[in-house]
Amino acid sequence: MALVNEHFLKLPGSYLFSDIAKKVNTFKITHPRQRLIRLGIGDVTRPLPAACIEAMHKAVDEMADAATFHGYGPEQGYDFLTEAIIKNDYAPRGIHFSTSEIFISDGAKSDTGNIGELLRWDNSMGITDPVYPVYVDSNIMCGRSGVLGEDGKWSNVTYLPCTAENQFVPALPDHRVDLIYLCYPNNPTGTTLTHDQLKKWVDYALENDTLLVFDAAYEAYIHEDNVPHSIYEIRGAKKVAIEIRSFSKTAGFTGVRCGYTVVPKELTAATLTGERIPLNQLWNRRQCTKFNGTSYITQRAAEAIYTPEGKQQVKENIEYYMTNARTMKTELEAAGLTVYGGVNSPYIWLQTPDGTGSWKFFEQMLYNANVVGTPGVGFGPSGEGYIRLTAFGTHEDCQEAMQRIRQWLR
């Protein structure tokens, strides 16, 4: 008899998006003539940059000829891509890596979810709240998060609330935690940390021997100068942090699948007897055993993001979404609402008026403005009283949605 990993049975059902779908379907059946505008989805809509398409076509042709065919590639990724990453994403900021410190992946979700395999199941962990659900769920799966309390919180998880009260800047834990996930610019709040605010976390990690997993999936959306693009801009971070990036939100790769993870050589974790083990070695071993690399065609497409044309095209796509974000922020504020984010990220975090619950406001907006958002409470207990709106749609839809919301709230 095969016994199941019972930790999986503790996972709360992922009801958020199916609950939204149910409510939206009910609305559609009762209001068949109304056109809904969806500002809830976290997926991009602009096509791939032309430079990436061109690179993929070329790579496909190479695959058609025995002389240029590529079979299994290095599990860690091809040097042409890791070198482009080092040269473009890090060297200009004074950060230096060797190719063996960069691991090409099939996206940030896999690596944020899998990285915990390197650590014992009984480490303590911390997350900002609200947050991208993968961090907690992947730790539930190995039993690291403990048991679920009636307050919706896991016993071995330290929750670091991010709300309007602390301007979405989480306070350092008042005790030591082994593993902390940070995501900046943040999904879902759209907020960021300044250099000094992030430095406090690196200093905390250095002092407490804490491992930081820094998810920078939205790095390309940063517009303000004092917001770090990489955690390694902070002195000492190479000793304590893994950085995870993705081409999904940067260059429209959500359906193509490519990202990368940085595991610096200096980064170590301890055995029970106190020996320090480089995590780079362990991650390399893990990847070589369980991952056979991202496809050659995909890595060529990702490399093209770093060409002059690629950079320009990526910038245009991001500006397209950020124009939406600006429209949303301006219009929602004009409608008397309080909103956060939207400056260094494609997400607007709307505070519901008069303390209305997330789900109640979601329904009000659905029925009165025919606009779909995502209830903030779906991202964690501290998301209650907020709604996430995304800037990933068309200009036309975005403008119309804002007009409808203003009309409704007039």
Ligand X SMILES: *Cc1c(COP(=O)(O)O)cnc(C)c1O
- Interacting residues toward ligand X by CB under 6 A: 107-109, 112, 132, 183, 187, 215, 217, 246, 248-249, 254, 259
- Burial of 377 from C-beta contacts in 10 A (0-12 / 13-18 / 19+): buried
Identity of the residue, 341 or 369, whose beta carbon is nearer to ligand X in the bound complex: 341
Residue 285 assigned as binding residue: no
Q: Is residue 156 annotated as involved in ligand binding?
A: no
Distance CA 164, CA 174 (A): 20
72 known member of a binding site: yes
Minimum CB–partner distance for residue 65 and ligand X (Å): 31
Nearer to ligand X, 280 or 374 (CB): 374
Closer residue to ligand X (CB): 187 or 374:
187
> Is residue 247 a known part of a binding site?
yes
Q: Is 218 annotated as a binding residue?
A: yes
- Shortest Cβ 261–ligand X spacing (Å): 11
Question: Least CB distance from residue 98 to ligand X, whole Å?
Answer: 23
Nearer CB in complex with ligand X: 215/331: 215
> 84 or 405: whose CB is closer to ligand X?
84
- Least Å distance between CB 256 and ligand X? 9
| Both tokens assigned to 232 | 């390694």
Q: Closest approach of Cβ 78 to ligand X, in Å?
A: 18
CA 270 to chain centroid, in Å, comes to 28
187 is in an annotated binding site: yes
115-123 LR contacts (CB < 8 Å, sep 24+): 115/213, 115/242, 115/244, 115/261, 115/283, 116/142, 116/144, 116/179, 117/142, 117/286, 118/269, 118/279, 118/282, 118/283, 118/286, 119/144, 119/178, 119/179, 119/211, 119/269, 123/178, 123/179
Main-chain dihedrals φ then ψ at residue 65, nearest 5 degrees:
-125, 130
Query: Residue 262 and residue 244: Cα distance in Å, rounded?
Result: 6
Does 28 carry a binding-site annotation? no
User: Is 124 among the annotated ligand-binding positions?
Assistant: no
Q: How would you write 248-287 as a 3-class SS string?
A: HHHHCCCCCCCEEEECCCCCEEECCCCCEEEHHHHHHHHH
Which residue, 215 or 303, has its beta carbon nearer to ligand X? 215
Rounded to a whole number of angstroms, the minimum distance from the CB of residue 109 to ligand X is: 3
The CB-of-131 to ligand X minimum distance in angstroms stands at: 8
Query: E strands, 13-122, where?
Result: 37-38, 102-105
Question: What is the C-alpha separation between 350 and 39, in angstroms, rounded?
Answer: 12
Q: Which is nearer to ligand X, 90 or 214 (CB)?
A: 214
347 annotated as belonging to a binding site for a ligand? no
What's the angle, vertex CA 378, arms to CA 222 and CA 15, rounded to 5? 125
Q: Residues within the annotated binding site?
A: 15, 42, 72, 108-109, 132, 187, 218, 246-248, 257, 292, 388
Q: Residues within the annotated binding site for substrate?
A: 15, 42, 109, 132, 187, 292, 388
